[in-house]
Amino acid sequence: MASGLQTELKQRKPFRSLKEEATLSIWRTAALLEHAFESALKPQRITSTQYNVLRILRGSEPEGLCRNEISARLVREAPDVTRLLDRLEDAKLIARQRGGEDRRYVLTRITRAGLALLDDVEEQIDHIHEAQLGHLDDTQLRRLVSLLAEVRRRA
């Protein structure tokens, strides 16, 4: 009998292993969740990675963070964080300031416009989370979070 994922992907042959099926299931689920998230952010003209940066910087207020600290906190690795920050700065959502002694050290902070954008999308993002995961109870959600954390620890 075909698995749910097999049917979803219209795959006729069985997976080579349960591990392969689990991995593909994680990828498929992440893609579906991310698509809804990206669609919600599209009117704001930002990507999910840019949204992630804004949330990171909001959480670091009032101190701000340097590029390397932002990069280390991203949910998904970004190949060129400097260009990512350039685009956010061009949109006036962040501001960067060079350090005093070490001119290479650049502190990044979220601007009022960046905070306003997060405020504007927060309710919509909450609705997306509810639509995607609201059918799971707290016990199931904690178990899911725990299982995914275990996978990441070994990855």
Does 86 have pLDDT greater than 80? yes
pLDDT digit string, tens, across residues 40-54: 999 999 999 999 999
Determine the distance from the C-alpha atom of residue 140 to the mean position of all C-alpha atoms in its chain, rounded to a whole number: 21
Q: Which residues pair with 109 in a beta bridge?
A: 95
pLDDT digit string, tens, across residues 15-40: 999 999 999 999 999 999 999 999 99
Does 110 have pLDDT greater than 70? yes
Residues 55, 127, 7, 151: is their CA dihedral positive or negative? positive
pLDDT reported for residue 23:
93
* SS3 call for 108: strand
CB hemisphere CA count around 5 (13 angstroms)? 15
Give the total residue count for the chain: 155
Q: What is the pTM of this model?
A: 0.85
Spell out the domain ranges in the chain. Answer: 16-154
- Tell me which CATH code domain 16-154 carries: 1.10.10.10
Distance CA 94, CA 67 (A): 12
